[in-house]
Amino acid sequence: VPNTLEIVNLRKVFGSKAGGVVAVNDVSFSIARGEVLGLVGESGSGKSTIARLIAHLYSPTGGQIHLSGQPVPHKLGGAALRKFRRHVQMIFQDPYASLNPLHPVRYTLSRPLKIHGLAEKNIDAQIGSLLERVGLAPASTYINKRSFELSGGQRQRVGIARALAASPDLILADEPTSALDVSIRLDVMNLMLDLKDQEGLSMLFITHDLAGARYMSDRIAVLYAGTLVEIGPAIEVIDRPQHPYTQLLKSAAPKPDAGLVPEEIAARGEVPDLKTLPPGCPFEPRCPHAMSECKDGLPKMYGLGNGHTARCILHDPAIVAKRSAVGAGS
């Protein structure tokens, strides 16, 4: 079975060539069928841009996207784009902003069903099934409500139902719980995991909350300044992070699991300016382990076993040998 999603050297530059900002710097990863990949990093790290590139809300500057083994053209429109949307759907952060408050639930959910060709006479039954699948039962209680009459959690459930209406293979969930009350986040995460299992979906779960990422994800990818710096099994990446940036994120996360607030890290005054990144490791200006070799070029991804890789020369055998020689001689 081919991977549901494969992105290879995906790149997005905003602005002109000379003054351009590299928002996504040759990022590669895959998501297997039925897998949840967590994508974590501070605000501005490129997480949402990657989702928007995959969803065709932006077109890439470079690289390839493959969906179930098929290459996806950089530009899609009309019927091709509608067909694409049957396979890839997004769930957005703010259910207040992503649903029109005046639209009744029936209208919100009937549109994608019509676009995807469901006959008019079957639409109400299908809406009823969608509402029950997302825990809004009985459907008759909700189908005529307007979005503004629903709670935040109910709205996000409608947002999830709208994504499911297309029967997608892949859901891109961009901070789907961060606008919700802490008390209902776990319910929404559990709903997404149940639906993933029942519908055989694959999911990209974007968050700045490491605890949420660990709970939801099979594997986790960590982005820093548009660059993938670490990827591996979720438990390993969070419990034994191997990149100094992931280690910093983990140490900055409030405990127990109140959710990492990106602004708290920003308050350290060190969030990178994408226009003035150093030529070597992008994390070098903030890294407690930085050494002169870190400026030599972008480090490669070093394999650490079990599919865990980190983009840091601390894992380069030559650097390890040199450091231990220095340590032994002192």
Binding footprint of Mg ion on the chain (CB under 5 A):
48
In the complex with ligand SF4, the residue whose CB is nearer, 272 or 299, is 299
Site string for ligand SF4, 230-269 (x = CB under 6 A): --------------x-------------------------
Nearer to Mg ion, 44 or 282 (CB): 44
Residue 209 touches which member of ligand SF4, Mg ion, none, C-beta under 5-8 Å by kind:
none
Q: Is 313 in the site for ligand SF4 (CB under 6 A)?
A: yes
Would you say 279 and 288 are in contact if contact means Cβ atoms under 8 Å apart? Answer: no
Residue of closest CB approach to Mg ion: 48
Task: Out of 139, 299, 302, 308, point to the residue binding ligand SF4 (CB under 6 A).
Answer: 299
284 binds, among ligand SF4, Mg ion, none (CB under 5 to 8 A by kind): ligand SF4
Task: Out of 204, 208, 287, 308, name the contact with ligand SF4 by CB under 6 A.
Answer: 287
> Of these, 281, 302, 308, 309, which contacts ligand SF4 (CB under 6 A)?
281
- Taking the complex as a whole, the smallest distance from the CB of residue 280 to ligand SF4 amounts, in Å, to 7
281 binds, among Mg ion, ligand SF4, none (CB under 5 to 8 A by kind): ligand SF4
Pick between residue 292 and residue 306 the one whose CB is nearest to ligand SF4: 292
Rule CB under 6 A: is residue 6 a binding residue for ligand SF4? no
Q: How far is the CB of 225 from Mg ion (least distance, A)?
A: 14
**Which is nearer to ligand SF4, 92 or 283 (by Cβ)?**
283
Position 165 contacts ligand SF4 (CB under 6 A): no
